[in-house]
Structure 1
C-alpha cells in the first residue's frame, strides 16, 4: 500500500493500456485521455481514497472495487478530450498505474505523448452515446460499491490510521452530520430565499481576478424558495466562505453532470481557487474536494 507524501511515478502509457479492459477501464475505473500527460512523471501521493461520494443517480458513499485508488497531489482533469468540460474533477489513480520511486523529484525527458489514432485503437473512450459522456465521474457507479453506515465508520477509523484525517477531523465527520440531522428535525437549516424569479449579474470575471464573497444576507436575497439562483444551489457549506476573498480559478461555462453524463451550459458562474467541498455534513466524510460553483451575483470584484 502506498503512503501519503510517498513519491510515485505514473507508469508509461503502454504499460497502463495493458491493464485496461475493452471499455478502457480497470476494475470499472476509466483511464482518461486527459491522464496521458502525467505518464512517466513523478508526483507525491496525497491520500488513499478509502471512499468517495457518488452522484449517480442519487448521492451516496461508496468504496472502489479492490480498494486500491489514490489521489496524487491535486491533479485534476483538464476536460480537454471531453469537449472542454470545466468541472476540474480530481483524478483517481489505480495502484497498478503507479510505481514507487526513491529520491527527490527529477526532470522527465521522455516523451509520453500518444497519437490520436493510437488512442482510438486502444479504446480510450470519451462518450457512451452522442449525448452521454464517458469519464471517471460518470462511470463511478460502475467502479464502486455502496457502503453501509457501519462500513463508513470503519472507513473513517482507517482514514485516521493512514493519515487522511486526524482524530479531531474524524470526530467532526461523525458528529456534524448527526447534529445536522437532529437540528433539521427541529427547523430547516438550508439557505432559502423568497423569490420566484431570481436575478443575475454579469461581471465577466477572469482567471486571476480577486473577488470577495458577498455576505450571507446579501446572497439570500438572490435565492428562490429552493435555495437556488437560476437553478444553481447555494449549498449550506458555502456559507463559511461569505466575506472572504479568493482568486478566480476559471470561468464555468459548461460541465458534465455526474448523475446523467450530459453536458450542460452554465452562465455567469466561476470556480474559485481552493474553494472546495469539505463534506463535513456527509457522514464519515469524502476526500474528493470537488470545487464549489459560484454565481457572479454572489461575488463582488476587488480592485
Structure 2
C-alpha cells in the first residue's frame, strides 16, 4: 500500500492498457484519455482515498472496489476529451496504474500520446447524450458504506494522516448537530424571490473578486436557496467578504448524476475554493470545486487587491 507523500511514477500507457477491460475501466473505474499526459511522470501521493461521495442518482458515501485508489497532488481533469467539461474534478488513480519510486528522480518531461491500442479502449460517451468518465461511473466503481463503516473509515483516515484527531471529531459532531438543529431551524440560505436576478461581469481567469456578504447574496436567491437553479450551499457562507482569484469560467459541465452536459451561464470557479464536506458524516476528501454565480461576487480593482489572496478556509478554522 502506498503512503502519504510517497513518490510514484504513473506507469506507461501500454502497462496501464493491460489492466483495463473493454470499456477502459479497472474495477469499474475508467482510465480517462485526459490522464494519458501524466504517463511516465512522477508525483507525490497526496491522499489514499478511503471513501468518496457519489451523486448518482442521490448523494451517498461509498468505498472504491478493492480500496486501492489514491490522489496524486492536486491533479485534476482538464475535460479536453469530454467536449471541454469545466468541472475540474480531481483524478482518481488505481494503485495498479502507479509505481513507487524510491529515489529522488526528476520528473520526466517526455511527451506522451495515446497509442492506437488504448485509444480504442477509452470511452468518453455512452451515447450521443450521455458522457462516460470517472465521475459518471463512480456508482459502478464503488460500494455504499453503512454508518458503522463510515466511522471505521474515519478512524482509518486518522491513522493514515488524512485528518487529525480533532478534525475527525468534528466530522462526527458537526453533521449530527446540524441534523438536530435542522429539525428546529433550517440553516440553508434562502431568499424570498420567485424570479432571481442576473448579473453579467464576464470575469476571466486571474481576476480578483470578493465574495459578497451573506445579506447581499440572500437578496439573489429564491425560496429554495437557488439563483437560476444553482444552489448557494450552507458551507459557502464561510467565504463571504473574502477575496479570491478566478480559476476558470464555468460555461458547461457534465452532471455526475446523469452524465449529461449542461450549459452554465454567468458563473465561475474560484482558485482553491472547494467543498470541504464539513457537514458530511465522516467527511469526504474529494474537494470538488464550488460553483459561483457572478452576481454573488464583485470585481476587486487592481489597486485594492489584498496582498494575500484568501485560500479555502481550513478545517481547523471552521
TM-score, normalised relative to structure 2: 0.93
Q: Show structure 1 runs of 4+ deviating over 4 A.
A: none
Query: Once the 2 structures are TM-superposed, how far is the Cα of residue 114 of structure 1 from its aligned partner?
Result: 2.0
C-alpha separation between the residues in 2 aligned to 1:130 and 1:181? 41
- Of 235, 245, 258, the match for 2:233: 235
Counterpart in the other structure of 1:301: 299
Q: How does 1:179-258 map to 2 (within 5 A)?
A: 179-258=177-256
C-alpha separation between the residues in 2 aligned to 1:107 and 1:176? 41
In structure 2, do the counterparts of structure 1 residues 107 and 155 end up closer, same or farther at CA, with 3 Å as the change threshold? closer
In structure 2, do the counterparts of structure 1 residues 239 and 105 end up closer, same or farther at CA, with 3 Å as the change threshold? farther
C-alpha separation between the residues in 2 aligned to 1:67 and 1:277? 23
Counterpart in the other structure of 1:141: 139
Q: Secondary structure of 2:172's match?
A: helix
Equivalenced residue count is 301
Tell whether 2:179 aligns with 1:177: no
Q: How does 1:146-161 map to 2 (within 5 A)?
A: 146-161=144-159
Tell whether 2:142 aligns with 1:113: no
C-alpha separation between the residues in 2 aligned to 1:23 and 1:302? 47
Tell whether 2:24 aligns with 1:27: no
C-alpha separation between the residues in 2 aligned to 1:19 and 1:201? 48
In structure 2, do the counterparts of structure 1 residues 302 and 20 end up closer, same or farther at CA, with 3 Å as the change threshold? same
Query: Once the 2 structures are TM-superposed, how far is the Cα of residue 119 of structure 1 from its aligned partner?
Result: 4.2
Counterpart in the other structure of 1:102: 102
Counterpart in the other structure of 2:263: 265
Q: How does 1:22-171 map to 2 (within 5 A)?
A: 22-115=22-115, 117-121=116-120, 123-171=121-169
TM-score, normalised relative to structure 1: 0.98
Query: Once the 2 structures are TM-superposed, how far is the Cα of residue 109 of structure 1 from its aligned partner?
Result: 4.6
- Of 276, 279, 282, the match for 2:280: 282
C-alpha separation between the residues in 1 aligned to 2:205 and 2:105? 29
C-alpha separation between the residues in 2 aligned to 1:118 and 1:147? 36
| CA-to-aligned-CA distance 1:204-239 (integer Å, 9 cap, x gap) | 000000000000000000000000000000000000
Q: Secondary structure of 1:292's match?
A: coil
In the alignment, structure 2 segments of 5+ residues that lack a partner are 302-318
Query: Once the 2 structures are TM-superposed, how far is the Cα of residue 120 of structure 1 from its aligned partner?
Result: 3.5
| CA-to-aligned-CA distance 1:67-92 (integer Å, 9 cap, x gap) | 00000000000000000000000000
C-alpha separation between the residues in 2 aligned to 1:165 and 1:197? 42
C-alpha separation between the residues in 1 aligned to 2:201 and 2:21? 46
Query: Once the 2 structures are TM-superposed, how far is the Cα of residue 107 of structure 1 from its aligned partner?
Result: 3.7
Structure 1 vs Structure 2 CA RMSD: 0.9
CA contact (8 A) 2:37 2:111 kept: no
Counterpart in the other structure of 2:290: 292
Counterpart in the other structure of 2:312: none
C-alpha separation between the residues in 2 aligned to 1:61 and 1:255? 22
C-alpha separation between the residues in 2 aligned to 1:108 and 1:152? 38
C-alpha separation between the residues in 1 aligned to 2:89 and 2:80? 12
Query: Once the 2 structures are TM-superposed, how far is the Cα of residue 103 of structure 1 from its aligned partner?
Result: 2.5
C-alpha separation between the residues in 1 aligned to 2:238 and 2:109? 44
C-alpha separation between the residues in 2 aligned to 1:80 and 1:118? 20
C-alpha separation between the residues in 1 aligned to 2:193 and 2:268? 23
In the alignment, structure 1 segments of 5+ residues that lack a partner are none
